[in-house]
Amino acid sequence: MKRERSLSPSDLSTPPNKKILIERTTESIVKRQETINVSNNKLKKTSGFTTSLKSKHVFGSGTKYTNNALTGSFAGILSSQKPKFSIFDKQTSQNDEDEEENNNDDDKESDTKEEVPFGTEIQTLLQKQEVLTGEEDEIAQHIVRAKLYRMDGQWKERGVGTLRLNYSKNNETVPRLVMRADNVLRVILNIALFNGMHVKRQDKFVKLSAFEGSKLVHLAIKLSNPNAADELYKAIMDAITSRA
């Protein structure tokens, strides 16, 4: 009978054939790495620099078209060109160019414009103009604010303004009543006083009949109070009798 041998710790380790396979694989990896390093060193000596990321992204590089004469030269041109600007440089925009043009135009205008001393420029001011009213040769003997009405089937208001009883300075014309509307100064009454004129006072009103042109009209002048109506009535009667 054969005697069974007890197992030693060495027997439990990796078998010899597997050790050889592992050693061979590691040797092949080392050799492959060495060949890669040798090829890289050759490339460094011939070209002087390593392949950058830019050349990998150039059209035709790293493809089957690299060895072509036309595409290869085109890729070389692109890779050799460097940008003439940097992201850190100040970039000019269209707005900046427009502002520069405007500033240049303003400078030209300021150069052409002559300097004028303060206060010597020609200024357009509103000038006071004399307006002729036709009352320049008359004297106002009585002035009062009133409201004017005219009978046209019924009493209708003509307007509110200042009523004047005017006398001629040279007594060349008869006294007259002139009334102008407020703000617009439109003439709403212009009648001459004459002998036999019908004039009547009633409370705050002074009513009279007069001629506007060749037409007889009936008018009513409303005053602020009866006393103002009395004063106007007396002034009108005095003007009529003074021409008698």
Contact 148, 139 (CB under 8 A): no
The predicted model gives 96-104 an average pLDDT of 67
Q: By mean pLDDT, which of 65-69, 177-181, 212-216 is the weakest?
A: 65-69
The predicted model gives 4-19 an average pLDDT of 53
Is 144 inside any structural domain? yes
The gap from C-alpha 50 to its chain's centroid, in whole angstroms, comes to 61
CA distance 196 to 240: 8
User: What token pair was written down for 99?
Assistant: 């502002």
Q: Which amino acid is at 67?
A: N
Residue 172's pLDDT band (cuts 50, 70, 90) = confident
Is 127 inside any structural domain? no
Q: Are strands 215-222 and 187-192 parallel, antiparallel or unpaired?
A: unpaired
Q: Which amino acid is at 73?
A: S
Is 70 inside any structural domain? no
Residue 55 pLDDT: 43
Residue 38 pLDDT: 81
CATH assignment of the domain containing 173: 2.30.29.30
Residue 207 pLDDT: 96
Residue 171 predicted with pLDDT over 60: yes
Is 190 inside any structural domain? yes
The residue that leads in pLDDT, 19 or 166, is 166
CA distance 212 to 191: 6
The gap from C-alpha 29 to its chain's centroid, in whole angstroms, comes to 78
Residue 63 predicted with pLDDT over 60: no
CB count, 10 Å around CB of 138?
Answer: 19
Residue 133 pLDDT: 79
The predicted model gives 128-141 an average pLDDT of 83
Residue 237 predicted with pLDDT over 80: yes
The predicted model gives 215-226 an average pLDDT of 96
CA distance 72 to 78: 10
Residue 190 predicted with pLDDT over 60: yes
Q: By mean pLDDT, which of 52-56, 136-140, 212-216 is the weakest?
A: 52-56
Contact 156, 228 (CB under 8 A): no
For tokens 């208001």, the residue is 157
Query: Domain containing 186: what range?
Result: 138-242
The per-residue pLDDT of the chain, averaged, comes to 75
Q: How many domains is the chain built from?
A: 1
CA distance 219 to 148: 7
Residue 243 pLDDT: 72
Is 83 inside any structural domain? no
Is 129 inside any structural domain? no
Which tens digit of pLDDT belongs to each residue from 78-97?
A: 555 555 555 555 555 556 66
